[in-house]
């Protein structure tokens, strides 16, 4: 099948706002590509022919946030008979932290894992992303650094595509759950579990920050959401952490980090707290006393 690709670079700082527009509009054919390491982002559309691609771009452009699209016209190219997913491969590279690797699925046959290491296979065609966004990297690096084991119980609050919950399962954590208030996110998480041979290994369900924890406490709670939501549900998040457990918060702009720390310090006195920044994003790690 012959396809046509249209692509334009957008400011990395505007990537989240652009992604929100694409998700809210539910526009088909468009994707957002990000390389957090190189601090670049692109809007990419794949359509049956050049005429449709240009028409769809003319419709999308005025709907994007102000300042999100640089001047000039997007790059265009015919993809020929290649699968459209091949056009994404140039932007997705394997990366690792500790003993966990995040690897494009097309490198499954060539990527070498050292003894004792594990991999999460990523397929952009399933909207899994690459794990390269700073907020995701901050979370998975914390997860690896916590030294989890088969006795560790993990809850991924606002699981999105499931990458954090599946990473926890691949690291050998015991019971792992992931929940999201968007049923579509739960469905995609299930697809990604199957891609990694983890179907049934993680319990994915629709839920919010009140119901999602199932009235239980967890050794590690991961919450890669937004600062205002983290603050609003600070009490519920802290209550879900078992004694001696860890709460990993991400999705926090560096400029909002102090506000998040202040909110959690007020409802979790005595918990040890640390934080890091990666680009314009940051995280907060809270350790509950045993």
184 and 273 assigned to the same domain: yes
155 and 54 assigned to the same domain: no
| Structural domain of 45 | 3-90
Q: Do 221 and 155 form a contact (C-beta atoms < 8 A)?
A: yes
CA distances from 181 to 24, 145, 166, 214 (A): 15, 28, 18, 14
Helix (H) or strand (E) holding 168, with range, is: helix 163-170
**Confidence band for 28, pLDDT divided at 50, 70 and 90:** low
Last residue of a domain, one of 68, 90, 112: 90
For position 47, which CATH number holds?
3.30.70
Total tally of structural domains belonging to the chain: 2
Give pLDDT tens digits for 77-136: 887 655 555 555 666 778 888 999 988 888 888 999 999 999 999 876 555 666 767 888
What is the pLDDT at residue 176? 98
Binding site residue list: 136, 158, 180, 224
43 and 156 assigned to the same domain: no
CA distances from 13 to 41, 42, 43 (A): 9, 12, 13
What is the pLDDT at residue 26? 63
What is the pLDDT at residue 129? 60
Last residue of a domain, one of 57, 90, 123: 90
Region of 172 please: left (phi>0), alpha (psi -120 to 50) or beta: left
107 and 227 assigned to the same domain: yes
**What does the alpha-carbon distance between residue 210 and residue 39 come to, in Å, rounded to a whole number?**
35
58 and 169 assigned to the same domain: no
Burial class (CB in 10 A: 0-12, 13-18, 19+), 255: exposed
25 and 110 assigned to the same domain: no
For position 117, which CATH number holds?
3.40.50.150
Q: Is 179 helix (H, G, I), strand (E, B) or coil?
A: strand
Range with the poorest average pLDDT among 153-167, 182-196, 245-259: 182-196
Range with the poorest average pLDDT among 11-25, 77-91, 212-226: 77-91
Binding site residue list for S-adenosyl-L-methionine: 136, 158, 180, 224
Last residue of a domain, one of 72, 90, 108: 90
């Amino acid at each position: 099948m012959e396809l046509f690709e249209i692509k334009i670079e957008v400011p990395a700082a505007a990537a989240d706002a652009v992604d929100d527009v694409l998700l809210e509009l539910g526009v088909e054919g468009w994707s957002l590509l990000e390389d957090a390491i190189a601090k670049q982002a692109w809007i990419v559309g794949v359509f049956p022919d050049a005429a449709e691609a240009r028409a769809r771009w003319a419709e999308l452009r005025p709907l994007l946030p102000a300042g999100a699209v640089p001047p000039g016209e997007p790059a265009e190219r015919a993809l020929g008979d290649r699968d459209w997913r091949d056009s994404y491969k140039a932007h997705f590279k394997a990366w690792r932290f500790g003993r966990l690797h995040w690897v494009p699925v097309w490198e499954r046959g060539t990527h070498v894992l050292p003894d004792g290491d594990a991999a999460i296979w990523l397929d952009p065609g399933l909207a899994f992303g690459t794990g390269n966004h700073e907020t995701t990297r901050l979370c998975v690096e914390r997860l690896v650094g916590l030294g989890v084991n088969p006795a560790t119980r993990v809850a991924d609050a606002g699981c999105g595509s499931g990458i954090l919950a599946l990473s926890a399962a691949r690291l050998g954590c015991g019971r792992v759950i992931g929940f999201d208030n968007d049923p579509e996110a739960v469905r995609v998480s299930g697809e990604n579990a199957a891609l990694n041979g983890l179907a049934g290994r993680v319990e994915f369900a629709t839920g919010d920050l009140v119901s999602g924890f199932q009235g239980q406490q967890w050794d590690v709670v991961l919450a890669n959401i937004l600062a205002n939501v983290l603050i609003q549900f600070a009490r519920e998040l802290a209550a879900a952490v078992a004694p001696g457990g860890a709460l990993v918060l991400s999705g926090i702009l560096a400029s909002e980090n102090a506000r998040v720390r202040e909110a959690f310090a007020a409802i979790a006195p005595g918990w040890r707290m640390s934080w890091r920044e990666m680009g314009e994003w940051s995280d907060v790690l809270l350790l509950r006393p045993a």
